[in-house]
Structure 1
Amino acid sequence: MRRLALIALALALSVGLASCIALRMPGPRASGALPAATPRELVLEGRLRMHVEELAGRIGPRHRARAGSREEARDYIEWVWRGQGRVVRREAYASELGAGVNLWTELGPSDGPLWVVSAHYDTVEHSPGADDDASGVAVLLELGALLGAEFAAHPGSYQRLRLVAFDDEETSAPLMGSGFHARGLARAGARVRGMLSLEMLGCYSDAPGSQRFPFAPLALWYPTRGDYLAFVGDWDSRELVRRCVGAFRALSPLPCEGLAAPRALRDIARSDHSQFWAIGVPALMVTDTSEFRYPHYHRPTDTPDRLDYRRLTLAADGVAGLLRVLCSRAPHP
């Protein structure tokens, strides 16, 4: 009897903790079959596939042990953005690991409040990194095309948006390229409204039980079918999580979920957004949940053919739409 009581107590504590971190998100979750791709979406899908195949296929692993491949990735990112008519900045920094380089470009006005969206172009040593994180970089590159003309045509309608390709995400926190960038923004007194890290966007599954969780009781609140995009932040970023989920659900047929949790749940911090928490900025990662769904995480098998490009396209369109909402100068509800 005592054992049963202890099990019941443990279950109650787990459920109670889960209820503290699982937020009720605005808007209905998308359901049903995805619509057929439009001609415009097919073009976008082709471009996303091209970026992933270039980065994870032709170039391959982009680890510090392969300096040439990292420079090729930088050149490719710069070439794509310059082809869109964008001004591209290279931010070089030095750490005990050696030199690193972030690349960024901005949309909208030249000053004022700033939103930051990022992806990382580096990989672990032996993985070509198709999902981690060529998928995020591909979307980041296309955001310049999806939003650039609109932001330029209506400069008074939007706040400033910075797109950043970070180096060294796959290192320890003090040495991450995002940390150097975030600290630089803080020193400059930039008014950063929020930050979104595009961290693995290409893996989806309709199979029951395909979604796992870093904290088992979350399965009581979240779908166990890995067919959705997730917006994940800390408790201080909960309003940003809610805004992003609400906007994405209103704009996209791709299902999405949101989670804001205490930082004690360490898996919520595993990307560049955590470096912005350190300077007091609301930040989250947009993700397919990494190894909690994707079996090829950090493996040589993380190759371009593993990704779901239809849903990656919907993710790109949905993120572009929610950025229009976030960056709008119009008051939000």
Structure 2
Amino acid sequence: MDPGAARWWRAGAAAVALAVTLGCTADSDGSPDPSGSPSSAPSSSASPSQPSGTPSSPPTPSASASEPATEPPAPAEPVRFSGARANADVRHLAGRIGPRLATGPSYRRAADWVAARFRRLGYDVQRQTFPVPAGDSWGVPVGAGRSANVVATPPGFDASRPHRLVGAHLDTVAVAPGAEDNASGVAVVLELARLARSEEPALPTVFVAFGAEEPVGDGDALHHFGSKRYVATMTRPQRRALRAMAAFDRVGVGRVVPVCTGPLSPAVVQRQVLRTARRLGVPTTACGDNTTSDHWSFEKAGYPVARFGSIPYAGYHSAGDVPAVVAPAQLARTGRVAWAWLRS
């Protein structure tokens, strides 16, 4: 190559090298290339104008549009018994449905409603049907028929493992809307079932709305048909696993919470409940020899039991047993004690 051509060739090569260098610098400034692909990460070497050995300034962090800043989660609200929610259930059962004779259509309507409530809470629900003889429902002759218990168990429940049972009778005598006796007890049981799906009790708990608790005559043989049916159909593993039973019957009147047992049961459940109430500052009364609710069927079978409720009131077994009789504050007192006991 002659000297002139060589000079021309070296000048052209230098120009091409300069263009390539400028192009690489433009690609490394973070601008997207024409194809829309994201740019490569900035080079870690110092820029030509930066003195050698001087560390570069750290990049300023920027929020990503696709990753919004997160806030710490709000603390979970404590699980609390709601007297107002329970009172709304009293109004529905005693105000909208009304008298619920155990063998009549209104009872079946109430049982359907309670079963639907349990199912919405996520429980497995079964019916136990049984016959009820003819007799006298607090002065009203009634014919024979059939009634049912509504039994709710938590998902995955194993009846052969330790558990508790709480229940309330859903039926009334023939003439009574049954707000206090016993929509109040059913309402407390429904609210406890709601709480137990939000926060597990100390032991798995079965919830039962008993049918045909009210008598159709004198004596045990004509009383407590639903709870007697439940006890009679328990399997041997189930009998060994049941640790305690609590009945809620007439729990919406007064300012103190009665906690009762019958004459046969060891007072272990009663003592547990009374200790729990003292810790919460809820006033209580203790009573024994109480055989007039569904706990008695379990007590006769040898289980430790307690009955919540039983304060006398003017509308007992009459058309005057309407929702206005029931005090939401008393429902709340009973429910707070019962929930703390289930959690202990």
- The answer to whether the superposition gives a TM-score over 0.5 is yes
Which residue is equivalent to 1:239? 268
CA contact (8 A) 1:109 1:160 kept: no
Q: Which runs of 5+ in 1 are unaligned?
A: 1-37, 152-156, 205-226, 326-333
Which residue is equivalent to 1:69? 106
Which residue is equivalent to 1:139? 188
Query: Structure 1 residues 188, 62: CA separation in 2 closer, same or farther (over 3 Å shift)?
Result: farther
Please, which of 243, 253, 270 is the counterpart of residue 193 of structure 1?
243
Which residue is equivalent to 1:168? 212
Query: Structure 1 residues 40, 193: CA separation in 2 closer, same or farther (over 3 Å shift)?
Result: closer
Please, which of 77, 86, 89 is the counterpart of residue 123 of structure 2?
86
CA contact (8 A) 1:183 1:279 kept: no
CA contact (8 A) 1:108 1:158 kept: no
Which residue is equivalent to 2:342? 323
Shift of 1:229: 0.6
Question: What are the superposed Cα offsets for residues 189-245 of structure 1, whole Å, 9 maximum, x if unpaired?
Answer: 4221111000111111xxxxxxxxxxxxxxxxxxxxxx3111111353212211111
Query: Aligned runs of 1:1-333 on 2, under 5 Å?
Result: 44-64=82-102, 67-96=104-133, 97-107=144-154, 110-111=157-158, 112-151=161-200, 158-171=202-215, 173-174=220-221, 176-185=225-234, 189-190=238-239, 191-204=241-254, 227-235=255-263, 236-251=265-280, 253-260=281-288, 265=289, 268-287=290-309, 289-291=310-312, 294-325=313-344
CA contact (8 A) 1:117 1:162 kept: yes
In structure 1, what is the Cα distance between the partners aligned to 2:131 and 2:287? Answer: 34
CA contact (8 A) 1:62 1:121 kept: yes
- 1:245 aligned partner, one-letter code: L
CA contact (8 A) 1:74 1:103 kept: yes
- 1:196 aligned partner, one-letter code: A
CA contact (8 A) 1:186 1:279 kept: no
- 2:303 aligned partner, one-letter code: V
Shift of 1:40: 8.1
Query: Structure 1 residues 82, 247: CA separation in 2 closer, same or farther (over 3 Å shift)?
Result: same
Partner SS state of residue 237, structure 1: coil
CA contact (8 A) 2:260 2:287 kept: yes
Partner SS state of residue 185, structure 1: coil
Q: Which runs of 5+ in 2 are unaligned?
A: 1-76, 134-143
Partner SS state of residue 234, structure 1: coil
CA contact (8 A) 2:168 2:248 kept: yes
- 2:234 aligned partner, one-letter code: L
Question: What are the superposed Cα offsets for residues 159-191 of structure 1, whole Å, 9 maximum, x if unpaired?
Answer: 221110000000253351000101212655422
Shift of 1:80: 1.4
Shift of 1:110: 2.0
CA contact (8 A) 1:173 1:179 kept: no
Which residue is equivalent to 1:207? none
CA contact (8 A) 2:273 2:337 kept: no
Query: Structure 1 residues 136, 304: CA separation in 2 closer, same or farther (over 3 Å shift)?
Result: same
Question: What are the superposed Cα offsets for residues 74-120 of structure 1, whole Å, 9 maximum, x if unpaired?
Answer: 01101211221222111112343321200111237622012110100
Partner SS state of residue 70, structure 1: helix
- 1:106 aligned partner, one-letter code: T
In structure 2, what is the Cα distance between the partners aligned to 1:144 and 1:39? Answer: 16
Higher relative contact order (CA 8 A, sep 6+): 1
CA contact (8 A) 2:202 2:342 kept: no
Aligned length, in residue pairs: 249
In structure 1, what is the Cα distance between the partners aligned to 2:131 and 2:151? Answer: 17
CA contact (8 A) 1:196 1:285 kept: yes
In structure 2, what is the Cα distance between the partners aligned to 1:234 and 1:46? Answer: 31
Which residue is equivalent to 1:216? none
In structure 2, what is the Cα distance between the partners aligned to 1:57 and 1:93? Answer: 27
In structure 2, what is the Cα distance between the partners aligned to 1:142 and 1:200? Answer: 15
In structure 2, what is the Cα distance between the partners aligned to 1:40 and 1:324? Answer: 11
- 2:305 aligned partner, one-letter code: A
- 1:311 aligned partner, one-letter code: Q
Between the aligned residues of both structures, percent identity stands at: 29
Per the normalisation by structure 2, the TM-score is: 0.67
CA contact (8 A) 2:122 2:155 kept: no
In structure 2, what is the Cα distance between the partners aligned to 1:124 and 1:82? Answer: 27
